[in-house]
Amino acid sequence: MQPAAVVRQSGRQGLVCHRQDLSSQQSGIEATADGHRGNGNATGHLHDRVQRIHTREGAASDGNTDHRQGGEGRHHPRKMGGTTGTGHDHTESFSAGRLGKRHHFQRGAVGRQHPHLHLNPQLPQDRRGRFHGRQIGITAHHHGHAGKNCRHEKDRQDCHRLPQRPRRPDLMRRITDVRLPAPLGSETERPHWIGLNDEGRIVEIQPQIAGETCPGSSWHGDWLSPRGVDLQINGGLGLAFPELSAADLPRLIALLELLWADGVEAIAPTLVTCGIAPLRQALAVLHQARLQHQPGRCRLLGAHLEGPFLAEARRGAHPIEHLAAPSLEALDHRIRGFESDIALVTLAPELAGADTVISALRQRNITVALGHSAAKAEQAGQAFEQGVGMLTHAFNAMPGLHHRAPGPLGEACRRGDIALGLIADGVHVDPTMAVLLQRLAPEQLVLVSDALAPYGLADGEHRWDERVLLVQNGTCRLEDGTLAGVTLPQLEGVKRLATWSGAAGAAIWGATVAPRRVIGTAGTLNDALVGQQLTNLLRWSQREGELHWACAA
């Protein structure tokens, strides 16, 4: 499989400072601080009034005059209109972006600070030099026509400075001794501290210095990660995605809530080979459900079409009567009008006409995966050059690794830039082979569930289109014994791979960060974490050798 599009989103409008925002409760003296001095008459009136105040107060009495060092009388700033405080002079805003967009918080790498994360930024009062160099935090005022007696003109000092304001307390709280997931072979044991703002959003991630005590609430070495992203899931709660109708919307919403409860943030709903009319109807229902997204509910990414351009000999549980030869016409009949609702298409690239379909899909920014294919290594290599970027359930429904015939999997590992979907249930792929693949291609491994309609239901006999599906210990087979899928949650695969490999951090990374790299919503772990609320993330711990997860807050 291979996805590409949509992800979650949660925005927060940050502080916006305007230089022209004058307080209505302050004096009626109007001024402008936009660097252009505003209306000339307003500026002249302002200057004249200030001069009169200086002259009148200086002649009448020195009791109302502020005699600071330097001797000149100064008008008290509290009688001036304009802004006070930190002295931001330009419009500045930030927002915590959504999954799918990179926002201000997501630009830095781990251990790097971003300017917008500072709680007390010190910005120049005017980048064009129209305010005096030390004029920070004073009224929005400029002596455009000041006389020679003004201290501005004499020694460039500020004659209207506000008294020093007490430093604002640091609102960021810290979580310490946190481990971060990473591919096998990377640093996963080094503790980090996590900085949170008063809304519980992550604003900073820094490694801890060995031997130094770091203040904060200790996690004692637990891992922090985003929620899972499952790029291959075929249904659940008795719903098979290719059979969706409008009447199924309530149950589909319930399934998305179950997925969130199972630690999954987003899925690419997978539509196995089926008729054209049911396929288009299912895409329409998924589109409607996508529009009804709410917090606390798994997000629907673009759909994953697994078929119908598959090799007959490697079709697995896909119904042979709905397979089709790849062509632009066949593609158009299926996806016309739904191009933006599709993230990923799995096909067999060795079939005649597949290269044209691959090119058309890539032009539409749809990711293409190799799967249910009999391609040899050379054919797979050509497909990768054309833009195929992933293998759907590696090892399954394709030639395996052989010392004289490396096949698609061997070629993908040799290249190093092809995502490798893996079903880590221990049945689709033997645990030893799963660990070997993780060691061979640690940064390419992407854990998927391949869950079918009985996901969330008890083992037993279930219906799948016109066929019977037998479920035992989470494994689904047709009546003839053909392996069809699982009913296990995606994060169960993380726990199993961690047990087999002894590398918990790498297993977590494969289900939470690696899929985001495939669909382009996060290039690094920092991209996936910074700006997110702790309540939307996962905390992982090991007890008695077994990995467990829970909501991070």
Q: What is the pLDDT along the chain (553 residues), one digit of tens a residue?
A: 444 443 334 443 333 334 334 344 444 434 333 434 344 444 444 445 445 444 444 444 444 444 334 444 444 433 333 333 333 333 333 233 333 333 332 333 333 333 332 333 333 333 333 333 333 333 334 444 444 455 444 444 444 455 555 554 456 799 999 999 999 988 878 999 999 999 999 999 999 988 778 889 999 999 999 999 999 999 999 999 999 999 999 999 999 999 999 999 999 999 999 999 999 999 999 999 999 999 999 999 999 999 999 999 999 999 999 999 999 999 999 999 999 999 999 999 999 999 999 999 999 999 999 999 999 999 999 999 999 999 999 999 999 999 999 999 999 999 999 999 999 999 999 999 999 999 999 999 999 999 999 999 999 999 887 788 899 988 999 988 898 888 999 999 999 999 999 999 999 999 999 999 998 888 899 999 999 999 999 999 998 889 999 999 9
- Note whether 515 and 494 are same-domain residues: yes
- Note whether 213 and 321 are same-domain residues: no
- Note whether 374 and 419 are same-domain residues: yes
Q: Which two tokens mark 284? A: 């329409």
- Note whether 80 and 186 are same-domain residues: no
- Note whether 130 and 181 are same-domain residues: no
- Note whether 50 and 77 are same-domain residues: yes
Tell me, yes or no, whether 525 lies in a domain.
yes
- Note whether 161 and 284 are same-domain residues: no
Which residues have a Cβ under 8 Å from the Cβ of 389 and sit 6 or more positions away?
2, 367, 368, 369, 417, 418, 419, 518
- Note whether 184 and 263 are same-domain residues: no
Q: Please pick, among 450, 465, 480, 527, the residue that the annotation labels catalytic.
A: 450
Q: What is the CATH number of the domain that holds 459?
A: 3.20.20.140
Active-site annotation holds for 248: no
- Note whether 434 and 508 are same-domain residues: yes
Of 426, 66, 490, 463, the C-alpha closest to 268 is 490
Tell me, yes or no, whether 459 lies in a domain.
yes
- Note whether 293 and 214 are same-domain residues: no
Tell me, yes or no, whether 3 lies in a domain.
no
Tell me, yes or no, whether 518 lies in a domain.
yes
Tell me, yes or no, whether 114 lies in a domain.
no
- Specify whether the CB–CB gap between 100 and 6 falls below 8 A: yes
Going from the C-alpha of 243 to that of each of 279, 284, 334, 466, 534, the distances in angstroms are 8, 12, 15, 11, 36
Going from the C-alpha of 490 to that of each of 191, 284, 424, 449, the distances in angstroms are 26, 26, 9, 5
- Note whether 422 and 481 are same-domain residues: yes
Tell me, yes or no, whether 32 lies in a domain.
yes
Q: Structurally, how many domains does the chain consist of?
A: 3
Amino acid sitting at position 442: P
Amino acid sitting at position 234: N
Measured CA to CA, the distance from residue 439 to residue 502 in angstroms comes to: 12
- Note whether 153 and 193 are same-domain residues: no
Measured CA to CA, the distance from residue 48 to residue 174 in angstroms comes to: 52
Tell me, yes or no, whether 76 lies in a domain.
yes
Tell me, yes or no, whether 470 lies in a domain.
yes
Domain boundary among 158, 193, 218: 218
| Residue 71 domain boundaries | 12-92+125-166
Measured CA to CA, the distance from residue 389 to residue 370 in angstroms comes to: 8
